[in-house]
Amino acid sequence: MATNAEIAEALLATCLSADHKPGKVQFTKYLYLLDYCHWHLTGRKATEFAWRFYHYGPWCEEVETCMAGLAERYQFGWREEEAAIVRSVQVAMPRLDITIRSLIERIVEMFKNRDLNVLLETAYSQTEPMVRAQRGDALDLSVVPVDRELPNFFPAATAPATDFQIHPKRREEMEAFRAKATALREKARERMAYRESESYQKALSLVAEDFAPYGELPAMRGSLSLEAADGLGRE
């Protein structure tokens, strides 16, 4: 089984490979959600971190120790600008159980581009150990259901079911509007068709010839009917 330090190192490596430099608060909550999601799937934690409700959310002193060890090993500061550390730090990926590694990747992908407050709200309000605990309590992950499924932190919004009848007069108006729209589309189609006809094109050429002595043919903003086009084409 991977050690806490190895799992923390794998989390950092995953973040950096995703062009994401987490802050200390983010990193802590990622590890907590890793344990939470792992319990959903297996009925046990991924780490040996002893989580407790500290100030406002889940925290563990050993996580702080792991983060300090990573900063010392790879020579970076947790408060550095994100772009600088992403470019300069190369973290080796420890060998992990496939389930743990997949969960780490899923959590990072889920939260890396979201506001920090979204991550905090998820950890504080959508996990049973936090909801049931009082400040200062150890967090009991045994209250998490083992359903072999990943928790859905962001369920898709569904439209409320509606059961209504359109008033007959309103339905009649809607049908009339649809019929009018269909007629207008057909009229537009017919107009485009005769503008491409031989008679229409011949009529335009005759008009151009008549205006030739006066220079360029003026812009025409009107339209010629099919009958008028046919008339211009006759001697």
Token pair recorded at residue 42: 């297996």
Express each pLDDT in 207-226 by its tens digit.
767 666 665 555 555 555 55
Q: What is the pLDDT of residues 32-45, one digit of tens each?
A: 999 999 999 999 99
Tens-place pLDDT, residues 134-148 = 999 999 999 999 999
Please give the Cα distance from 135 to 133 (Å, whole number). 7
Query: Between vectors from CA 155 to CA 38 and to CA 165, what angle results, nearest 5°?
Result: 155
**pLDDT, averaged across the chain:** 84
Domain boundaries of the chain, sorted by first residue:
4-143, 168-232
The proportion of the chain whose per-residue pLDDT surpasses 70, expressed as a percent, equals: 80
* Distance in angstroms (rounded) separating the CA atoms of residues 146 and 216: 82
Q: Considering the entire predicted model, what is its pTM?
A: 0.67
Give the Å distances, CA to CA, from 232 to 22, 168, 196, 235: 76, 50, 16, 8
Q: Is-contact 17 126, C-beta < 8 A?
A: no
Residue-wise pLDDT for 5-32, tens only, equals 999 999 999 999 999 999 999 999 999 9
Q: Is 44 strand, coil or helix?
A: coil
